[in-house]
Amino acid sequence: MSQFNAMTTPDRLQGLVTQVRPHLRNVIGVTIGKGGEGKTTTGVNLSFMLAQEQEYRASQGLPAKPILYAELDSNGNSRMDLKIHGGQFDDDGEAFLGAVTEDKPFTVLRNVRPYLDMTIPGSANGRLNAEISRLATKHVQAPYLMLAMLLAQISHLYAWIVIDFSPGDESAQRLGLAAATHLVAPVKNADDASIGGLATVANLVSEVRLINPELGIVAIGFLGFRKVAGEATSELEVVRAKIEVLLEQAGLSPEVVMKDHIRESRNLATACRNNGMPARELALAANEMLMDTETGEPVPRPRYANGRLVEPDRAFELAEDWATFTRDVITRVASRNAELQGVVS
Ligand SMILES: Nc1ncnc2c1ncn2[C@@H]1O[C@H](COP(=O)(O)OP(=O)(O)OP(=O)(O)O)[C@@H](O)[C@H]1O
Ligand SMILES: [Mg+2]
């Protein structure tokens, strides 16, 4: 752990932060201070849509780079969402833990989909918290920068890096907060606990100022709320209004609240996870437009948990919501990056 010793003084810590920050402007964190709000669904779909865009760019002869998706949570549900759970590369998070806490090589699973790489999460991530806390007792803030330093070294290889982390493990969450530049917070439930979860994120952003002065919430997105004739219902409007009050109290702009939202579709969301397909992939498969890379034939049409075939039109509607969501997030991130670059130069 010799690298920590050189970093413990406040000046050195600040030097390190200043050095890594410009290399992390393509890092988007998906988090909220409460479990089960759709972080992994959001992280996976955002990453997949961004990867599809890069694949398209490459097909047009334009420059393209892959996306890296990293889930820090110990449930490692993204392994299900991207169909690598229990497969030959699933090490239950061991390699990732070793890279972050013990200087072991940082490995990623390449091409989990075209233009999409991922780190493998799993139960080992549950030990991140204890390991980082232990290091932090000796080296104060420096250990929280471990992920930031790892990502800063490889960020030039990626168009975007998306990290998904939860509030449960405070130290692990700090790793994510130190590494990301832009935060997206998903809200799935209409209750006050979800809104409280958002307040937690807002507080954390100011708490981590020392190790990440550039962190900011770019978007608060909603998923799992009904759409009637393409529009939000009063249920979502009530939640939006409460969030706007909270933002005002925290001195944040209500502009971060996204206008559009991901429609309620529990059975499709379950089908995505059970079939190991992001929403757009599920839609393509449901329309027999997703080819098996080995046989060149369409993959079998996916089914809901009850055995019925996924309806192609409904699957495309959900995929379209994620496309709109992704465009909106990237527009916000790009304009924030322009501001950040302006401040530096
Ligand atoms: N559009 C949707 N409509 C309804 N339910 C949805 C929708 N999208 C996702 N869900 C459901 O929301 C639940 C939580 O999603 P997810 O696992 O992404 O949350 P999370 O914040 O990562 O949870 P955890 O804190 O456990 O890691 C899942 O059961 C998922 O099926
Ligand atoms: Mg999750």
pLDDT in tens, 27-58: 999 999 888 899 999 999 999 999 999 999 99
Residue 268 lies in a domain: no
Q: How far is CA 269 from the centre of its chain?
A: 17
Q: Tell me the pLDDT tens digit for each residue of 311-342.
A: 999 999 999 999 999 999 999 999 999 999 98
Residue 295 lies in a domain: no
Query: Ligand 1, atom 30: nearest CA belongs to which residue?
Result: 269
Pocket of ligand 1 (CB under 6 A): 35-41, 73, 75, 77, 166, 188, 223-224, 262, 264-266, 269-270, 273
Q: How high does pLDDT run on average in the chain?
A: 92
Q: Tell me the pLDDT tens digit for each residue of 85-96.
A: 999 999 999 999
Evaluate if residue 236 carries a pLDDT over 60.
yes
Residue 39 C-alpha to ligand 2 middle, in angstroms?
5
- List 222's β-bridge partners, or say none: 187
Residue 278 C-alpha to ligand 2 middle, in angstroms?
14
Q: Tell me the pLDDT tens digit for each residue of 194-209.
A: 888 888 888 889 889 9
Query: What ligand has the least distance to the C-alpha of 224?
Result: 1
Residue 271 lies in a domain: no
Contact of 34 with 168, CB cutoff 8 Å: no
Of the spans 4-18, 103-117, 231-245, which averages the highest pLDDT? Answer: 103-117
Mean pLDDT of 158-168: 92
Domain that includes residue 206, residue range: 2-262
* Angle, vertex CA 75, rays to CA 69 and CA 76, nearest 5: 25
Q: Which atom of ligand 1 lies nearest, measured to the CA of 321?
A: 1
Q: Model confidence at 218, in pLDDT bands (50, 70, 90)?
A: very high
Residue 344's pLDDT is 57
Q: Which atom of ligand 1 lies nearest, measured to the CA of 44?
A: 18
Residue 198 lies in a domain: yes
Residue 6's pLDDT is 47
Residue 133's pLDDT is 87
Where residue 148 sits, what CATH number does that domain have? 3.40.50.300
Q: Which atom of ligand 1 lies nearest, measured to the CA of 224?
A: 3
Evaluate if residue 4 carries a pLDDT over 70.
no
Pocket test for ligand 1, best of 73, 78, 188 (most atoms within 8 A of CB): 188
Q: Model confidence at 2, in pLDDT bands (50, 70, 90)?
A: very low
Evaluate if residue 222 carries a pLDDT over 90.
yes
Domain count, the chain: 1
First vs last C-alpha separation in the chain: 34
Evaluate if residue 1 carries a pLDDT over 50.
no
Contact of 252 with 269, CB cutoff 8 Å: no
Q: Which atom of ligand 1 lies nearest, measured to the CA of 318?
A: 1
Residue 174 lies in a domain: yes
Residue 329 C-alpha to ligand 1 middle, in angstroms?
19
Instruction: Give the span between the Cα atoms of 261 and 227, in whole angstroms.
Output: 8
Evaluate if residue 226 carries a pLDDT over 60.
yes
Residue 193's pLDDT is 85
Residue 284 lies in a domain: no
Residue 221 lies in a domain: yes
- In the numeric block, the tokens 């139960």 are attached to 123
Q: Tell me the pLDDT tens digit for each residue of 109-147.
A: 999 999 999 999 999 999 998 899 888 887 778 899 999
Instruction: Give the span between the Cα atoms of 176 and 298, in whole angstroms.
Output: 38
Q: Model confidence at 8, in pLDDT bands (50, 70, 90)?
A: low
pTM: 0.95
Q: Model confidence at 189, in pLDDT bands (50, 70, 90)?
A: confident
